[in-house]
Amino acid sequence: MERTLIILKPDTVQRRLTGRILQRFEDKGLSLAAMKLMKISRELAERHYAPHKGKPFYPGLIDYVTSGPVVVVVLQGNRCIDTARTLMGKTFGYEASPGTIRGDFGASRSFNLVHGSDSPESAATEIALYFTEDELLTYAHAGSDWVYPKDDV
């Protein structure tokens, strides 16, 4: 089963969209493995976004993600990364399709509501920045057989 890191960024929390956005991931069949409300320190943000250091948007990204509380979530499920990224939509809300999180709630280049890991490797690295192995749970939902048939992996 695949896992991904999702960060509901400060604009999500400030606009009180946390529950509505989490619901979309759950409605699709993804499960929560871990979740916490926190304020990301500048040091942690710089470690998380290190691959972008030196890019023109980097300083603003660090300022943005450290500007207020966030909800950090680990989701799990079959093809979890691709599923979550499809649900999120294109990075900029004004380019994202209606029906996606960013398409329905976003309009900005700077405030894009949500972060999602882009590969299994980045997911593993990012999850380890925010959660210990003991904080990650794996469990079955009563109706999970109706979301993922046993032969659909």
Contacts within 8 Å (CB) and 24+ apart, 59-64: 60/110, 64/9, 64/10, 64/110, 64/111
Give the type of residue at 39: K
Residue 115 known to be catalytic: yes
Fold of 2-140: Alpha-Beta Plaits (3.30.70)
Catalytic residue among 48, 52, 115, 141: 115
pLDDT digits (tens, 9 = 90+) for 60-87: 999 999 999 999 999 999 999 999 999 9
**Beta strands 2-8 and 70-77: pairing type?**
antiparallel
Extents of the domains making up the chain = 2-140
Measured CA distances, 81 to 76, 84, 115, 124, 150 (Å): 9, 5, 11, 11, 19
pLDDT score for 153 = 63
- Could you report the per-residue pLDDT of 113-127, keeping only the tens digit for each? 999 999 999 999 999
The pLDDT score that the predictor gives to residue 77 is 93
Is the pLDDT at 50 greater than 80, yes or no?
A: yes
Q: By the 8 A CB rule, do 22 and 8 touch? A: yes
